[in-house]
């Protein structure tokens, strides 16, 4: 479904991502792992059109989307849940969710999409009239994921969903993401610093170090890799 080939990007003259190649298949959960500042966010922002690629391709269902606008990429079904959630804190949960319907199709299907989101996150239905800024961190992350689901993703990108959340809430969010992939066929690209949790829920993963993909494998292979153990798992 997604095939990224030799992708390079950065900011101005500053090159951050160097020749990244990876893929995500239908219904797969793939983790992009790495420490602070490794370039994970820049990599996914290049895929979603927020950072311009310098070279390389982003093939999505057979079409090269590299360098296309964010809007075009959204229309193709690549929807990102941004790092830090980026909700409209003064607006209600419902209004934030509604923002996920940005084009004709997603607007037409808003009613059924809302029911879908409320089924996965019943708390959001209870809180639908509450200002998003007054929710707990975990609930806010649910709104951010819910808003992305309203955009009818074929590929859902989660950027650091665990940031600032209690471990049990992280498990809840990741388990919904896992079910999205396995039950709904929505592929998931998960960017995480919490490597233990990410590998527990992903099928495969890639390690990013200094803007380069240095390792790849199934979650099991990465968990057992000596470099991953030493550098990231502290064992």
Question: Where along the sequence are the contacts to ligand ATP (CB under 6 A)?
Answer: 11, 14, 16, 34, 36-42, 83, 193
Residues facing residue 57 across a β-bridge: 5
CB of 33 to ligand ATP, least distance (A): 10
3-state secondary structure of 172: helix
CB of 36 to ligand ATP, least distance (A): 4
3-state secondary structure of 53: strand
Closest C-alpha to 103, from 70, 69, 75: 75
Q: Could you tell me how far CA 177 lies from the centroid of its own chain?
A: 9
CB of 34 to ligand ATP, least distance (A): 5
CB of 83 to ligand ATP, least distance (A): 6
Q: CA-based angle 182:184:4, to the nearest 5?
A: 75
CB of 91 to ligand ATP, least distance (A): 25
Measured CA to CA, the distance from residue 105 to residue 70 in angstroms comes to 17
Which residue, 13 or 129, has its beta carbon nearer to ligand ATP?
Answer: 13
Query: Other C-beta atoms within 10 Å of 63: how many?
Result: 11
CB of 43 to ligand ATP, least distance (A): 7
Which residue, 75 or 83, has its beta carbon nearer to ligand ATP?
Answer: 83
Beta strand 53-60 with 2-11 is antiparallel
3-state secondary structure of 12: coil
3-state secondary structure of 136: coil
Which residue, 5 or 83, has its beta carbon nearer to ligand ATP?
Answer: 83
3-state secondary structure of 157: strand
Tokens 């509604």 belong to 98
Which residue, 14 or 235, has its beta carbon nearer to ligand ATP?
Answer: 14
Which residue, 46 or 140, has its beta carbon nearer to ligand ATP?
Answer: 46
CB of 122 to ligand ATP, least distance (A): 31
Which residue, 150 or 194, has its beta carbon nearer to ligand ATP?
Answer: 194
Contacts of 122 (CB under 8 A, 6+ apart): none
Which residue, 121 or 232, has its beta carbon nearer to ligand ATP?
Answer: 232
| Residues found in the chain | 235
Measured from each CB, the residue nearest to ligand ATP is: 41
């Amino acid at each position: 479904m997604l095939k990224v080939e030799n992708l390079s990007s950065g900011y101005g003259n500053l090159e951050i991502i160097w020749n990244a190649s990876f893929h995500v298949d239908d219904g797969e959960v793939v983790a992009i792992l790495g420490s602070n500042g490794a370039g994970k966010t820049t990599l996914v922002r290049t895929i979603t059109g927020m950072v311009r690629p310098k070279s390389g391709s982003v093939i999505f269902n057979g079409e090269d989307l590299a360098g296309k606008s964010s809007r075009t990429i959204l229309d193709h079904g690549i929807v990102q849940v941004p790092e830090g959630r980026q909700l409209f804190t003064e607006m209600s949960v419902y209004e934030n969710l509604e923002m996920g319907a940005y084009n004709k199709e997603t607007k037409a299907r808003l009613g059924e999409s809302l029911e879908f989101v409320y089924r996965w996150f019943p708390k959001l239905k209870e809180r639908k009239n509450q200002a998003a800024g007054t929710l707990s961190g975990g609930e806010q992350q649910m709104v951010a994921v819910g808003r992305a689901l309203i955009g009818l993703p074929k590929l859902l990108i989660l950027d650091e969903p665990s940031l600032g959340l209690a471990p049990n809430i992280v498990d809840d969010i990741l388990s919904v993401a896992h079910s999205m992939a396995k039950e709904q066929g929505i592929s998931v690209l998960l960017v995480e610093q919490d490597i233990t949790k990410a590998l527990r829920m992903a099928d495969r993963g890639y390690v990013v170090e200094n803007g380069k993909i240095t390792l790849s494998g199934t979650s099991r292979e990465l968990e057992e890799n000596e470099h991953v153990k030493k550098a990231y798992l502290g064992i």
